[in-house]
Amino acid sequence: MTSDPERVLQSLDLTSLGDNDTECTVDDLCRRALDDAGGRVAAVCVWPGLVSRAAHYLDRTGLRIAGVANFPDGGTDAVPALKDIEVILESGGDEVDVVLPYTEFLYGERKVVVDFLKYCRRACHGGTVLKVILETGVLEDAEMIADASRLALGEGADFIKTSTGKAAVSATLPAAEIMLHAIRDAGHGGFKAAGGIRDVPTAMTYFSLADEILGDGWATPNHFRIGASGLLDDILRRQSGSASETSQIAGY
């Protein structure tokens, strides 16, 4: 049976989206993904302009690369968002995390949001995974989160994601529950929790919720991700502790 830290590790989108990130930042992120995590994370996630650096570092390793688009403000102008997507894909990215124009969604401008998502889905051709960030901490209202989830899934989102991690409120279990029910009802789609998840027990509450709603075995990297950076430290600390305990039991 897979341990909790290992299960979290395998679904981790190891992320760095700091305002001052550089190529050196990405090099360190990729090194951690390969050396510290043994290449077992689901993906690394960086700014569009740094995807090429990640692709160079991770060349032929099989690790997936995600880039963010329309991030973090979620504007309605599709042109810069599509430019972000173009840069991500041309630079060797495999996945796009795009921010839903959540302010317009709140104000009832559904057509603007639908058109925006259609453009993004069309730009993410081939096997590109499209994750749509709902910014649930801003949407707040349960029915609004449910509506946004249904809309994104209906417009071709491969994953719906809780948050950018830049708003005052990030991932929460109530929002996750609503989103997971929307995925179950739609019969397709994956889920990603992001923002404020810093330890394995917190991450496992999201796995447990997914197991309850969508069944044991659903929450694999193909359907379930955790977006975080510091979480890797706790995973490795717990794995190291388990290894030490095993060695002591074995008499080493």
Candidates 84, 94, 192, 234; catalytic one: 192
Candidates 13, 84, 94, 97; catalytic one: 97
DSSP label at 48?
A: G
192 labelled catalytic: yes
Distance between CA atoms of residues 202 and 61, nearest Å = 29
Buried residues in 55-81 as b, exposed as e (16+ CB within 10 A)? bebbeeeebbbbbbbbbeebeeebeeb
161 labelled catalytic: yes
Distance between CA atoms of residues 41 and 62, nearest Å = 11
Candidates 13, 131, 158, 161; catalytic one: 161
Buried residues in 121-137 as b, exposed as e (16+ CB within 10 A)? bebbeeebbbbbbbbbb
- Residues annotated as catalytic are 97, 161, 192
